[in-house]
Amino acid sequence: MSKKNILIFSIVGFIFVSVLGTLSHFFYEWSGENKLIGLFFPVNESVWEHLKLAIFPTFVFFVLGLVFLKHINFKVYFVWFFVVLITPMILILLFFYSYTSMLGYSIVVVDILIFFVSVFTAFLLGCIVLNLKEVKKGFFILSIVGIAMILIFYLTFTYFPPKISLFKDSTTNNYSV
């Protein structure tokens, strides 16, 4: 892929994940609280569930990339996916807990900005990864394992969350649906 195509792919990815992520905040409610939809989209107002706003839209974009991209190095592409998947998770948690620990409360506008900045940063880092010609086998394996762990944790912890604050719904004080 040329540098221009990587940039276009990253811009489209940022827009796609931002729009689908924003809309997906409401998918569970709109579905009549369908449990299958709840596996992929937020089921409550916990921080953990809100990470799904970035995770599953990124997964969908990754699959679309597999379908439409030609001449892609699959090892590099899987490392790209892991980087773009994990970056918003880390940044959202870091920024959200940093500012709310200082203020003692959250501000919806700030939370939304954190989401967009985190997704933007992920696709910016993704540009760097996609410009690599090759990645070491260890990075590829780490990416595959990391992607699998993220998906397993999300599919499991939606309905069987640990009883810690990360999983606690801020509006109902419940830990699950």
- Rounded Cα distance, 89 and 157, in Å: 15
Flag whether 55 is in a domain: yes
pLDDT given for residue 110 in this prediction = 96
Flag whether 22 is in a domain: yes
- Rounded Cα distance, 157 and 90, in Å: 17
Spatial neighbors of 76 by CB under 8 A, at least 6 apart, are 129, 130, 132, 133, 134, 135
Flag whether 174 is in a domain: no
| pTM of the entire predicted model | 0.91
Count up the domains in the chain and report the number. Answer: 1
Domain that holds residue 25: 3-167
Flag whether 173 is in a domain: no
Under the banding of pLDDT at 50, 70 and 90, the label for residue 158 is confident
Mean per-residue pLDDT of the chain: 93
What would the mean pLDDT of 127-152 be, rounded to a whole number? 95
What pLDDT digit, counting tens, does each position of 46-90 carry?
999 999 999 999 999 999 998 888 888 999 999 999 999 999 999
Flag whether 41 is in a domain: yes
From residue 76, alpha-carbon distances to 6, 89, 105, 138 in Å are: 12, 20, 40, 12
DSSP at 166: G
Give the torsion through C-alpha atoms of 145, 148, 149, 153, to 10 deg.
Answer: 180
Flag whether 172 is in a domain: no
Flag whether 138 is in a domain: yes
Q: Is a pLDDT exceeding 80 seen at residue 177?
A: no
